[in-house]
Amino acid sequence: MTAIAIVPAAPIAITSACRVNVTEAPVNDAGLYDTETYPTEPEIRYYLSFEKAGADTGKSQVFSPAADGSFEFNSYIFPSAGSWIVHIRKVSDDSSEAHLDVTVS
């Protein structure tokens, strides 16, 4: 199951440069397996979104996870204190693969 972790776990707004770690994200879409194409399963591409009060206020670059489903996004700084939700979203339909609630002081 896809998971997100953030270091430090309790960031401080404007001062804490955070690292966001993604683990176990699906790399390929097995539901679209096609023996007639190469690769036989299309690559799934993602981005991280940073949401506060229902609005996305930050976004990472588009990425594909490593073969083990991992990805690391370095040096994100939350622009304000409060309750945030970090999502890993699929580029194809913006659906959330996983999320993490973060309290920023």
**pLDDT category of residue 41 using cuts at 50, 70 and 90:** confident
Query: Per residue in 47-100, pLDDT tens?
Result: 999 999 999 999 999 999 999 999 999 999 999 999 999 999 999 999 999 999
All structural domains of the chain, each given as residue ranges with its CATH number in brackets, are: 3-104 (2.60.40.1930)
- Give strand ranges (E) for the chain: 3-7, 18-23, 46-52, 55-59, 71-76, 82-90, 96-104
Is the distance from CB of 71 to CB of 62 less than 8 angstroms? no
Contacts of 54 (CB under 8 A, 6+ apart): none
The residue among 10, 23, 5 whose CA lies nearest residue 78 is: 10
| Confidence tier at 43 by pLDDT (50, 70, 90) | confident
- Given a cut of 90, whether residue 40 has pLDDT beyond it is no
Distances (CA, A) of 6 to 41, 82, 83: 30, 15, 14
